[in-house]
Chains A and B, each alone.
Chain A
Amino acid sequence: MEKQLNINGKIAKVTFTPEELLLYTLRQNGFTEVKSGCKEGECGACLVLLNGKPVNSCLMFTASVLEEDKLLTVKGIGDLHEPHVIQEAFVDSGAVQCGFCTPGIVLASYALLQENPTPTEEEVKKAMDGNLCRCTGYVKIIEAVQLAAKRLQTK
């Protein structure tokens, strides 16, 4: 099958099989920043934003994504040269160890802060509940999200 998908604001033409998971389609088309940690919807490494809402791309068929849908990966919010405030906050807080969970967690934070610009610690923890990180113990991730919230407020 073939489809045009809106990924990070650009139109990408992708080919896929009928039951192909969005995770595979994205990765096969070069969006390798979307990681695969479990393929059972439990780790959040494959998380992308679909019209601003976090979804685990390993639980979604590519066929079910509509051409008018907007997909966002971590590269879509900022890059090495112009990083997003959240990405910088993760760096400054020491919230990135191996970084394998980071793309998913940064996006989960992005979605949270869009909806709730001043989350409490509990709200941050809750928003991250679908994302596993085995390296950091989450302490610095939570700090990073709060730092990003603060910086976005004063921006």
Chain B
Amino acid sequence: MKKYTTVGKSEKKIDSLSLATGESKFVDDFEMKNELYCKLVYSPHAFAEILDIDDSKALAIEGVVDVLHYKNVKHILHTTAGQGFPEPSPYDCTIFENIVRFVGDRVAMVIAENREIAHMAVKLLDVKYKILEPLFDPEKAMDPGAPQIHDSSRFTPIGVKYEPERNLAAEVEIGFGDIQKGKEESDFIIDETYNAHYGQHCTIEPHSVKSYFDEMGRLVLLSSTQVPFHVRRIVAQACDYPLSKIRVIKPRIGGGFGSKQEVFLEQLAALTTIKHKRPARLVISREEVFQSSRTRHPIRVNLKMGAKNNGEITFLEMDSLLNSGAYGSHALTVLSNCGSKVLPLFNKIENLHFIGRSVYTNLPVGGAYRGYGATQGYFALNQHLDILTRKLNVDLPDFIKKNHIQVGETSQVFEALGEGRDGVTQLVNSCQLDECIDICIKEIDWYKKHDKKITNGDKVRGVGLAVSMQGSAIPLIDMAAAYIKMNEDGSFNMNIGATDIGTGSDTILAQIAAEVLNVPLEKMIVYSSDTDRTPFDVGAYASSTTYLSGRAVKKCANKIKDQILGVAAEIMESSLEDLSLESSKVIDRKQNKSASYYDICNYSLYTKDQFQIQAEASEIVEQSPPPFMAQATEVEVDTKTGEVKVLEFVSAVDCGQAINPQLAEGQVEGATVNGISYAMTEEYIFSDKGNLLNKGFRSYKISTAADIPKMKTFIVESHEESGPFGAKSVSEIGINGPLPAIANAIYDAIGVRMYGAPFTAEKVYRAMQAQKIE
């Protein structure tokens, strides 16, 4: 393999010292003079019609500037899903409406001089509701006579199946081969249903936006967003305001994980500034984040899998029911990914059927969340494989190795299932899943521990394994662009639309350019995510940045390289084929001469035929090469109480060439702990009226340092031919394994199957009791 100078090195994340010293600014750290304080008012009812809003008492308070609600804000149907255009999500919301569809749906927004006044005014708003019968059970959403949550005025801009009359927000179906034939050939069939539950991203920075008019009268939005360009477009649409007058800037942002791919606050701040010609601040509280922002979609997955006694899988049917909550944000694409990121992994199954439906309920709204449907799908599939191999009495790791997709192979699913349209045909070019599995098995000591039920008093240990794949960008849909120019001292400005949300993408994209240009990393000056100053990029989602934006950067840097070589040839009177780049110089091997970047840039700027060495490049991708991963865990279950302790967790990932191994590991570790936390403690608990009861970190428990098990992370390098320097993306995949690996380990320990999570002592205890009764 080729040796790189910067790529493959754990360079320091370029913004990390600024962050560690508290210099970096997040949205709410920008001081605005004369700023208006915005505070949202939410529905206490799961489903109701607003008969009237009387804001006179609130407006009578000194310091209350305005109250926005359905009576005074234009109704423009749009989606809050920050996706490419036209969005694959239904246009089913307006900024304010006279119907509220979940506890926490927005009713109005108070605009005041300061926090105290705004909080006072909120209580004085007089809202008259007519309560409607709510719908909470997704299984009943499509029943005749079920409450209808959205009327027929709603539609999907891409014209896919969408039937609000039946609460159907999305439907996908694909099939190959002959299921009936598969059934007939089966010696047995395993039919089980798994429930992946609600979860919240819990970025430590809550969603924040500030807006103001700049000195030219253009509207500037500082937003904690993953998708600045989609924000600009959606705000223009929802506020009916010219796109050309909007500038969106993403400063440092405090984590995203999908939650900040949602455009639901920016339009409100924008409206405030447009109407009152003053800066506005809208930062939601932790409670609001839990209740009113976005969540992981709960998905009920039914799997039917037939097999012969010799281990051959005869058919697979997947039936997924996604609870979209009150709005259909990402309802189609998360649903599709529950199949498209999961089913291709076992591509040898000839008879395959996938049906998925997303339905509306009067519960909190789902959205993009790291793993994006794959997490939910893999919870089911990995447990199903565990059940199957136990029944066949074969080794799970071995079985997976024999059946998973290999280099040079494809899956029909890739082609059949895209994001709101057909997918693309693609071959797998790189896959080190076998090695990932081997590492996990070795590290967890599988053969000494699996099926051994190592017991110590009331405590029994077990081990579990899970595998998964994800993708790298959305092929033929996502686009990224980059711009680079050269400075006299051999440094380069690189402006990119790509959005660093804490992942380190500014750093790894700079590494890619530095590698091409043969300069140390500090010579790259990165500026990203500003709709006025940087070229377009879809943003940080779908594991797209390393692969897609990385390719755009590489292409752009290559154009700069050509220009540098051209100038060097002129200076040294060399012929191009004798020239090569070497540490900020161009070398002419034949003449044994060199020209430094200093000479080259100064020549181009000041000496002859002057021009700026600069280039831009755009990139779309034709495939979405999957990273692969194996994850294994050892747990200890207290058979008296049901308490589960995760003792050790091993992850091994194939993400192609890791551009920056330390940052890649960080992505895997973060995703893994997030997944463990989701599996063990995180849960949305609702009252019977649909009110979320645990809206804070005290009651919605996420992992702390003290909770984490012994963690081991391995980067298994491969070379993805189509990726920049062989790279694939890595940010999402780590969250797919914990849920099923832990469930499989619990089964290994106590022989009890956990079809739902989190695996709290209470739930495990109950499952143990239920099994005893059976």
Contacts and interface: CB of A to CB of B under 8 A. Distances in A.
A140 interface: yes
B487 to A, nearest CB: 22
B628 interface: no
Contacts of B63: none
A131 B704 contact: yes
B654 interface: no
B12 A134 contact: no
Contact of B204 (A30, A43, A106): A43
Given A80-B23, A96-B13, A125-B706, A135 B255 contact: yes
B15 interface: yes
Contacts of B673: 136-139
Contact of B28 (A36, A38, A129): A36
B366 to A, nearest CB: 19
Contacts of A71: none
A38 B669 contact: no
A37 B673 CA distance: 19
Contacts of A139: 665, 669, 673, 708, 711, 713
B286 A136 contact: no
A128 to B, nearest CB: 4
Contacts of B698: 40, 42
Nearest to B701: A42
Given A98-B253, A141-B705, A75 B697 contact: no
B18 interface: yes
Interface string A97-132: 111111100100000000000000000111011111
Nearest to B13: A96
Contact of B674 (A103, A131, A137): A137
A96 to B, nearest CB: 4
Contacts, number: 188
Interface size grouping (class) on chain B: 35 or more
B94 interface: no
Contacts of A5: none
A93 B637 CA distance: 34
A73 interface: yes
Nearest to A144: B20
A134 B204 contact: yes
A146 B697 CA distance: 27
B205 interface: yes
A137 B670 contact: yes
Interface centre among A43, A103, A135, A142 (most CB of B within 10 A): A135
B697 A100 contact: no
B29 A32 contact: yes
A73 B21 CA distance: 9
B10 interface: yes
A83 to B, nearest CB: 6
A134 B201 contact: yes
A136 B502 CA distance: 10
B309 interface: no
A140 B10 CA distance: 13
Given A40-B697, A74-B21, A126 B706 contact: yes
**Chain A facing B: main interface SS:** loop
Interface centre among B22, B286, B696 (most CB of A within 10 A): B22
B674 A37 contact: no
Contacts of A90: 16, 20
A64 B339 CA distance: 56
Contacts of B255: 97-98, 100, 134-135
A100 B17 contact: no
A99 B252 contact: yes
Interface in B620-679: 662-663, 665-666, 669-674
B203 A98 contact: yes
Interface centre among B674, B706, B711 (most CB of A within 10 A): B706
B501 interface: yes
A137 B731 CA distance: 13
Contacts of A27: 28
Contact of A78 (B21, B252, B713): B21
A136 B669 contact: yes
A106 B20 contact: yes
Interface in A44-79: 45, 73-75, 78-79
B286 A38 contact: yes
Interface of A: 17, 27, 30, 32-33, 35-40, 42-43, 45, 73-75, 78-80, 83, 87-88, 90-92, 94, 96-103, 106, 124-126, 128-142
Given A30-B31, A135-B670, 6 more contacts: A97-B255, A100-B255, A101-B204, A125-B708, A134-B204, A136-B673
21 contacts: A32-B28, A37-B204, A75-B23, A79-B23, A80-B21, A83-B20, A91-B13, A91-B20, A94-B13, A96-B15, A97-B503, A98-B252, A99-B15, A132-B202, A135-B255, A137-B671, A137-B708, A137-B711, A139-B673, A141-B705, A142-B705
Interface of B: 10, 12-13, 15-26, 28-29, 31, 116, 201-206, 252-255, 257, 285-286, 501-504, 662-663, 665-666, 669-674, 696-698, 702-706, 708, 711, 713
